Homo-oligomer: A and B are copies of this chain.
Amino acid sequence: MTASILGPGAPALAFDVGGTDMKAALVDAEGTVLGTRRLPTPRDGERTADRVVEAVARLAEEFAAEYPSVAPAAAGLLVPGHVDAAAGVGVLSENLGWREYPFRERATAALGMPVGFDHDVRAAGEAEYLLGAASRYRDVLVVTIGTGIAAAVFIDGRIHAGDGRVGEIGHAPVADGPACACGGRGCLEAVASAAAIARRYAAGTGQPVRGAREVLARAQTGDGVALAVWESALDALALSFAHVVALLSPEALVIGGGLSEAGEELLEPLRRRLDARLTFHRRPVLVKARIGEDAGIIGAALKARAVAPIREQAGTR
């Protein structure tokens, strides 16, 4: 149970499907987050999206059994990749392998309630923008660094979704390699995502690690390969951010996702490297996301509340 960031509103189910794990929770009428759970995102080749919807329905049943007094009025469902939120469609996920999957329609049928559907990084970014570390800025990016790297882009106080592929900074070239899941080479995400940092260390040493945090810990104890991997990730992030700053001159970059859990151990060297790359540019404030790990769930709950029947939205039933 998480203290309420959301405040009162319609009770809702919240689902945040990531490239590795999916998270689910129930939000009550006070905005309290109940029963948060994390499970591996089901994978079944071309049927992965069907399995995700089945998992969503199963989780809804579990919440109903566990919290019989909380009757959700709507659900929020977030997925990664190229998302057409208006159409309710997952257009493409390279990591999870679906194309043109009608998530909103299928989830609405499976759950028997209205479903707010959106892109995981944009909805998490909206949570940080409305309720978290980005709330004091109008020109700001909320950058999620986890399995992949992508940003929610706020321009003059509004999120910019464009054609659904805005903010894909993880898929811009920062190096000559390694190969990226998208088919490109040297994408930021292939060098500097939390998953890439772990993968590159394992490839360089033959030793699997649990994640990027472990690579950072090894770098701090003098492991040369770990240090090289970590520093090249910082360099790649700073290079990418320099392009972002030159193009958009944002007030702030709010960093979320798994890698942001490293806090100042990530942000301090990143600020230094970015500063060295800039001249007349505005230095954006570089801060850690406040809602952090739960931003997806909070974002999903906000999407759910936005589609809940009006009479539920006051949070009284």
Contacts and interface: CB of A to CB of B under 8 A. Distances in A.
A208 interface: no
B277 A151 contact: no
A183 B278 CA distance: 9
A278 B153 CA distance: 20
Contact of A279 (B166, B184, B278): B184
Interface stretch (A43-51, A109-117, A125-133, A237-245): A237-245
Nearest to A92: B280
A277 B162 contact: no
A278 to B, nearest CB: 8
B168 A281 contact: yes
Size category, A interface? 35 or more
Nearest to A241: B172
Interface in A176-225: 180, 182-184
Contact of A183 (B247, B249, B251, B279): B279
Interface string A267-285: 0000000000111111000
Given A82-B280, A166-B248, A243-B247, 9 more contacts: A151-B247, A153-B248, A162-B248, A163-B249, A165-B280, A169-B243, A169-B247, A180-B279, A240-B243
Interface of A: 82, 92, 94, 139, 151, 153, 155-156, 158, 160, 162-173, 180, 182-184, 239-240, 242-251, 277-282
